[in-house]
Amino acid sequence: MNPDEQKKPEVNQGPGAGEEQPAGQASRQAGHEPPKVSRGSLLSIVVIGLVVAVIVAAVGIVSRKHASAELAKYTDKTSAPPVTVVQPVLQKNAREVVLPGNIQAFTLAPIYARTTGYVKAWYHDIGTPVRKGELLAVIETPELDQELATAKADLATAKSNSGIAKVTADRYSDLIGRNAVSQQDTDNAVQALEARNTQVASAQANVQRLEELVSFERVVAPFDGVITARNLDIGQLITATGSTSTAGGAISGNKEIFDISAVRTLRVFINVPQIYSPDAKNGLIAKLTLPQYPGRTFEGKLVRSSDSVDPTTRTLLAEVDVDNRSGELLPGSYTEVHLNVSSDAPALLVPVSALILEPDGLRVATVDESHHVHMARVTPGRDYGTTVEILAGLKPGQSIIGNPPDSLTDGEEVRVVNANDKSQATEGKR
């Protein structure tokens, strides 16, 4: 066969083969195309994503709320100040009660000037004993002296006018009997005499008033005693409201010019607890001890009481008088009054650190079952150094704060902790 004929079939097969190739490629491309996704499948995926997001958000919110609640609970728990509480110890063998007291002068008188003027002289300083009526100071009042002189002149004029009016009235009374004058003129003369007499009485009263004021130029002692304060000096202006200087020379508000105290007998006022009130009878002998006289006692006598228990402190106010002719005891001193009681009475012992000193007395901070503080006013007894007797104001079994902070207030909530826990916490901070 001719070679050309042998090649021809091959040429004729070319187009057939070319037609089969695109069909194979199309089938292969059709196999690589992604499958079509339905709208239901897409919606399911979106819903699942939203549910997952909601669950994650809810878990986050719940966890945050729980953390906030725990933080608030922890803050509330730790915001209250931590305190340690102790229990008072009951002492049942107190046969003697010791009460605090302040020594006072039997009579104390602040002296003021009753007139206005300048100090001419003063004669007694602090610590000087004086007798009743003794001259203390002299005040110069030139204006008052001139007023007195004017008042005396007015009195003399009134007396002169009264004398003339009397002569006239007597003359008219004689003439009326002879019908020489009218009744009207006679009545006028008599009434003029009465008016002049009234003017004399008024002028006399004014002179007496000014003489009393002039007498106040001399400041005298009202009773026997000791000068305990002097607030004036020579040349100083004194008014009826008092002096404007003190013993140190400083200018201050108006003060008395002298203080006088009667110190031969002294008063000591004590508050006897209700439990000992039956023993606080007039005539009871009391023993006084003072820190400036260690080992010594001074004898006094209970002379009177209020016969009424104070509902606030549950105490009886009593007065003890002490003889002080020796002058050893000083007014204003602190003393402890020892009273013997007829029977044993319980007393509570508390640590000294539990006492709170306030201007109106001693207090103790008690803690109730709800951990709230209550300030209880107490009456102390004997001081044993580390502990103090409490005679009134505290009941057995009450919990008290052993070492209350200065910022503690009545009604405040506290956190009660044990002493061991507190010490461990302190060591942990270190």
Which of 215, 247, 273 is the endpoint of a domain?
215
Residues 206-214: what's their mean pLDDT?
90
Q: Could you tell me if residue 40 is inside a domain? A: no
Q: What is the CATH number of the domain that holds 239?
A: 2.40.50.100
Q: What value does the CA radius of gyration of the chain take, rounded to a whole number of Å?
A: 53
Residues 121-126: what's their mean pLDDT?
93
Q: Check residue 115 and report its DSSP letter.
A: S
Alpha-carbon distance 255 to 243, whole Å?
Answer: 5
> What pLDDT, in 10s, does the model give residues 195-209?
999 999 999 999 999
Same-domain check for residues 372 and 334: yes
Tokens of 212: 């009393």
pLDDT of 230 strictly over 70: yes
pLDDT of 219 strictly over 60: yes
More confident residue, 230 or 424: 230
Predicted local confidence at residue 63, as pLDDT: 80
Same-domain check for residues 347 and 232: no
Phi then psi dihedrals of residue 68, to 5 deg: -65, -40
Q: What is the pTM of this model?
A: 0.53
More confident residue, 2 or 301: 301
Same-domain check for residues 297 and 379: yes
pLDDT of 406 strictly over 90: no
Residues 140-162: what's their mean pLDDT?
90
Predicted local confidence at residue 201, as pLDDT: 94
Q: Could you tell me if residue 347 is inside a domain? A: yes
Q: Could you tell me if residue 65 is inside a domain? A: no
Same-domain check for residues 170 and 100: no
Percent of residues, the chain, with pLDDT higher than 90: 30
Q: For tokens 């010791």, what's the residue?
A: 98
Same-domain check for residues 373 and 237: no
Predicted local confidence at residue 126, as pLDDT: 93
Alpha-carbon distance 356 to 364, whole Å?
Answer: 6
Where in the sequence is the domain holding 319, given as residue range(s)?
Answer: 85-104+261-429
More confident residue, 58 or 152: 152
Residues 380-389: what's their mean pLDDT?
78
Residues 380-394: what's their mean pLDDT?
79
Q: What is the CATH number of the domain that holds 297?
A: 2.40.30.170
Same-domain check for residues 411 and 422: yes
Torsion of CA 310, 387, 86, 402, to 10 degrees: 90
Q: Could you tell me if residue 17 is inside a domain? A: no
Tell which phi-psi region holds residue 350, choosing left (phi > 0), alpha (psi between -120 and 50) or beta. Answer: beta
Predicted local confidence at residue 420, as pLDDT: 52
Look over the chain and give the mean of its residue pLDDT values, rounded to a whole number. Answer: 81
Q: Could you tell me if residue 303 is inside a domain? A: yes
Phi then psi dihedrals of residue 134, to 5 deg: -75, 140
**Lowest-pLDDT range of 70-84, 181-195, 265-279:** 70-84
Tokens of 31: 């196999």
pLDDT of 272 strictly over 80: yes
Predicted local confidence at residue 381, as pLDDT: 72
List Cβ<8 Å contacts ≥24 apart for 199-203: 199/158, 199/161, 199/162, 200/155, 200/158, 200/159, 200/162, 202/158, 203/151, 203/154, 203/155, 203/157, 203/158, 203/159
Same-domain check for residues 322 and 414: yes
Q: Could you tell me if residue 230 is inside a domain? A: yes
Closest CA to 226 of 265, 262, 264, 266: 262
Relative to beta strand 225-230, strand 237-238 is: unpaired
Which of 153, 185, 215 is the endpoint of a domain?
215
> What pLDDT, in 10s, does the model give residues 324-381?
999 899 999 999 999 887 765 567 888 888 888 887 778 888 988 888 888 888 877 7
Tokens of 276: 């000992």
Same-domain check for residues 120 and 247: yes
Predicted local confidence at residue 15, as pLDDT: 43
Q: Could you tell me if residue 359 is inside a domain? A: yes
pLDDT of 19 strictly over 60: no
Predicted local confidence at residue 79, as pLDDT: 65
Same-domain check for residues 277 and 348: yes
Same-domain check for residues 244 and 346: no
pLDDT of 429 strictly over 60: no
Phi then psi dihedrals of residue 122, to 5 deg: -130, 150
Residues 231-249: what's their mean pLDDT?
73
Quickly list DSSP for 176-217: HHTT-S-HHHHHHHHHHHHHHHHHHHHHHHHHHHHHHHHHTT
Q: What is the CATH number of the domain that holds 160?
A: 1.10.287
Same-domain check for residues 194 and 230: no
Which of 194, 226, 256 is the endpoint of a domain?
256
Predicted local confidence at residue 300, as pLDDT: 94
Tokens of 74: 């922890």
Tokens of 273: 């607890």
pLDDT of 427 strictly over 70: no
Residues 401-426: what's their mean pLDDT?
72
Alpha-carbon distance 192 to 202, whole Å?
Answer: 15
Same-domain check for residues 211 and 221: no
Predicted local confidence at residue 107, as pLDDT: 93
pLDDT of 154 strictly over 50: yes
Number of domains observed in the structure of the chain? 3
Alpha-carbon distance 236 to 22, whole Å?
Answer: 136
Phi then psi dihedrals of residue 69, to 5 deg: -65, -45
Q: Could you tell me if residue 423 is inside a domain? A: yes
